Amino acid sequence: MWDNPRLLNMAANALVGLAALIFAYAALQMLLRSPLFPLKDVVVRGELRNASREEITSALDGIGGNFFAAELAEVRGRLEQVAWVRRVDARRVWPDRIEVRLEEHVAFARWRQVAGDTQPRGLVNDQGEPFAAAMEAAAYEALPQFAGPQGSEGEVARRYRRFAELLAPLNMTPERVVLTARHAWQLRVAGAQGGLELELGRDGAEPVEQRLARFVAAYPESIGRLRTAAQASDTARRHIDLRYPNGFALRVAGWKG
């Protein structure tokens, strides 16, 4: 080996490379521990409508140390534990701070899991994602109510928007959307003509939206023309079964004959 210049050069290059790696590692450790680059501030950007500054400050308590050593993942993880925080972006800003931008959940509906629900009732945001947070009672009750199997929050939110679009010509709004454990759809609708309970059934050869569209088209010349004491009451609810291929069945509480 000692009389082989090629092998000697390779060995020398390997030693130089190893020394460079060791030097770089040592320099990195010194940089991470250096008191010359202290982390002085964590700046929070973004409008806070529900999360409080006190909650944010508490979540960030203890974040400090070196500018290079501070873990951005830890910052994100702590803030994402705050009830109303949906997403956190964090970045280092030279020379001494971390800048955080928060996105809050936007409450879209109340949520209840069907089929043996043992979990506390929660909320669904406008992205169809479940979350848990405290709200004022009046604001909470004003939200539409969703119910469905675990993991179906996004699908229920998507269908709610489609159902609301179909009912808009009747000036009606879904106030409750249920996806049962058997994957059948049920609606409670509020509007100028009082309340409706709509049984849409399951998707099949005919999507439930098609049944609802057919009902909306027929409503003005059918149920919309009915005038009964039960319908005149704002609290009256009519149960309508749309699970028929060419029509629907109507049941009105308190209406006989």
What are 131's two structure tokens?
């979350």
Q: Angle at the Cα of 163 (from 157 to 167), degrees rounded to 5? A: 145
97 has pLDDT over 70 = yes
Q: What is the CATH number of domain 41-104?
A: 3.10.20.310
Residue 213 Rama label (left phi>0; alpha psi -120 to 50; beta): alpha
Q: Angle at the Cα of 49 (from 47 to 55), degrees rounded to 5? A: 90
Domain boundaries, the chain: 1-33, 41-104, 107-252
Please state, in angstroms and rounded to a whole number, the distance separating the CA atoms of residues 193 and 167: 13
pTM of the complete model = 0.77
Q: Angle at the Cα of 240 (from 235 to 244), degrees rounded to 5? A: 175
Pick the CATH number of 107-252 from 3.40.50.300, 3.40.50.12500, 3.50.50.60, 3.40.50.11690: 3.40.50.11690
Length of the chain: 257
Cα R_g (the chain), whole angstroms: 30
224: confidence class by pLDDT, cuts 50, 70, 90: confident
- Position 119 scores a pLDDT of 54
Please state, in angstroms and rounded to a whole number, the distance separating the CA atoms of residues 106 and 125: 5
